[in-house]
Amino acid sequence: PRVRDIMNRQVISITEDEEIRVAAKRLLKDETNHLPVLDGNGTLVGIITTYDVSKAVVTDGRLRQVKDIMTRKVIKTTPDEPVDIAAQKLERNNISALPVVDTTNRVVGILSAIDLGKLFGGRR
Ligand code: SAM
């Protein structure tokens, strides 16, 4: 199977100029751990996770915006990529989700370790 077969198309994202507390609220409300970060053009420029928000709280209260704490070097995948390659990216980088981008770097989905788990066991 390919990434498009199991990716989640309901992507919850955030823009880089939002305040960190907005990101925190969104993570809580939507019960997700990863928010792809977009610039004003809707292009993927980073990723922010519950881990990053927690770290910002304990290390530096002056950090204000998503762009101050996001990870800029995003490890990502594409709809055409075989799922085993995507799974390797998660494993090797010790992360649990990959934004799925099209050829113009727009986010068309998100692939998480949970989605990969659905391939086995056949539930849902
Ligand atoms: N093991 C913990 C975990 O699974 O959350 C922490 C390690 S993980 C490397 C946490 C860091 O990875 C965060 O700073 C987050 O921004 C980053 N991260 C998560 N998904 C990412 C992705 N697809 N590409 C790049 N960085 C990512």
CATH of domain 3-117: 3.10.580.10
**95 Cβ below 6 A of ligand 1:** yes
Residue 25's pLDDT is 96
Instruction: Please report the atom of ligand 1 found closest to the CA of residue 75.
Output: 24
**74 Cβ below 6 A of ligand 1:** yes
Task: Please give the distance, rounded to the nearest whole angstrom, from the Cα atom of residue 50 to the centre of ligand 1.
Answer: 9
Query: Any idea where the domains of the chain sit in the sequence?
Result: 3-117
Helices and strands in the chain, H and E counts: 6, 5
**14 Cβ below 6 A of ligand 1:** no
Residue 121's pLDDT is 67
Residue 17's pLDDT is 97
**63 Cβ below 6 A of ligand 1:** no
- Using one digit for the tens of pLDDT, what is the confidence trace for 12-37? 999 999 999 999 999 999 889 999 99
Q: Classify residue 66 as exposed, middle or buried by CB count within 10 Å of its CB (0-12, 13-18, 19+).
A: buried
Residue 123's pLDDT is 52
Residue 60's pLDDT is 74
Three-state SS for 30?
A: coil
Instruction: Please report the atom of ligand 1 found closest to the CA of residue 96.
Output: 4
| pLDDT digit string (tens) for the chain, length 124 residues | 999 999 999 999 999 999 999 999 999 998 899 999 999 999 999 999 999 999 998 987 788 899 999 999 999 999 999 999 999 999 999 999 999 999 999 999 999 999 998 887 655 4
